[in-house]
Amino acid sequence: MRDVIIIGGGAAGLGAALYSARFSLDTMCIAKEFGGTGNIAHKVDNWIGDPGISGFDLMQRFEKHVKEYNVPLISDEVKEIKKIEGGFEVVGKETYQGKTIILAVGMKHRELGIPGEKEFAGNGVHYCYTCDGPLYKDKNIAVVGGGDSAALGALMLKDYAKKVSMLYRGEKLRAEPFNGEAVEKSENVEIITKVNVVEVLGDETGMTKVKLDNGDEMVLDGLFIEIGHIPLNELAKKLEVKLDEKGFVEVENDQSTNVEGVYVAGDLSNITGLKQFITSASQGSIAAQSAYHYIMKNK
């Protein structure tokens, strides 16, 4: 039985793996995809000391650093975690056992939940502007959302597209001022507020237009949905970890949960609303330290 099993391979999971290894704990890190959603960040301007690095490159550096400590990085999708005597059993393609668990599985993209969205997903409707933006060179596209992810998406997509329309249900963009001002200054970005997309329309070739709640239809080549994320809390629920009203895991300052031996770090935790690389990595390191103290106490 290992000392620590970390589930999740993004900034929080790899940060936890690094610190856990440095505490000389027998550590394993399991992830469906290492780097997680961090891989798709086009440009990270707020990673201190290395502004402008891409999310993919940053995650590659994290992974390389962790490998220097010989931490096993296992590609597997965890389906279940069970409490057993002396610790926990983690079930994926294989079965693993650990004295403590650090959950760092993050969030997933929120969908609009409207007619036509699933039908044209990947064929006009997208959730990753970094991945799919280059497909729309000199095309007319729209970004749904008014926060930072939507603003950053529009700023990247404007370099490919002929025109980018930002469609937001509120009265004013809620992106941080730096990003919001950059969008407003962009010549080929149009901001349309107080509007909702209610249906995606198309044919056998893919999406062709969207219907708005004001009755208008907008002809588009592509639609990028950037309306936030929802927590991946299925494993936490199976462990009977306490969640807040939004579905995030309630944690203490040391990243501990109401279940002894279970820690949560990164975007899944409710400790801060600031979901960033730097906060996730720091929470991972704190969770590793807490796991270390728990193991030493229960030797």
243 DSSP β-pair partners: 249
| This model's pTM is above 0.75 | yes
**CA separation, residue 258 to residues 38, 188, 224, 237 (Å):** 28, 50, 38, 12
Do residues 122 and 200 both lie within one domain? yes
Residues 12 and 62 in one domain: yes
Residue bearing tokens 């926990």? 88
Same domain (yes/no): 101, 115: no
Three-point CA angle 26, 55, 284, nearest 5°? 30
**236 and 134, same structural domain?**
no
Count up the domains in the chain and report the number: 2
Q: Which phi and psi angles does 152 have, rounded to 5°?
A: -65, -35
Residues 183, 289, single domain; the answer is: no
**How far from the centroid of its chain's Cα atoms is residue 213's Cα?**
29
- Pick from 110, 93, 102, 104: nearest CA to 27: 102
Q: For residues 187 and 42, state if they share a domain.
A: no
For residue 35, give its domain range.
2-108+229-297
Helix (H) or strand (E) segment spanning residue 165? strand 163-167
Active site residues: 128, 131-132
Per-residue pLDDT of the chain (299 residues; tens, 9 = 90+): 999 999 999 999 999 999 999 999 999 999 999 998 888 887 888 899 998 899 999 999 999 999 999 999 999 999 999 999 999 999 999 999 999 999 999 999 899 999 999 999 989 999 988 888 998 999 999 999 999 989 999 999 999 999 999 999 999 999 999 999 999 999 999 999 999 999 999 999 999 999 999 999 999 999 999 998 899 999 999 999 999 999 999 999 999 999 999 999 999 999 998 889 999 999 999 999 999 999 999 98
Contact 265, 255 (CB under 8 A): yes
- Is residue 94 located within the same domain as residue 237? yes
236 and 98 part of one domain? yes
Residues 233 and 89 in one domain: yes
Residues 162, 28 within the same domain: no
List the CATH number of the domain containing 175.
3.50.50.60
Asked whether residue 173 falls in the same domain as residue 256, the answer is no
- Is the same domain home to 104 and 246? yes
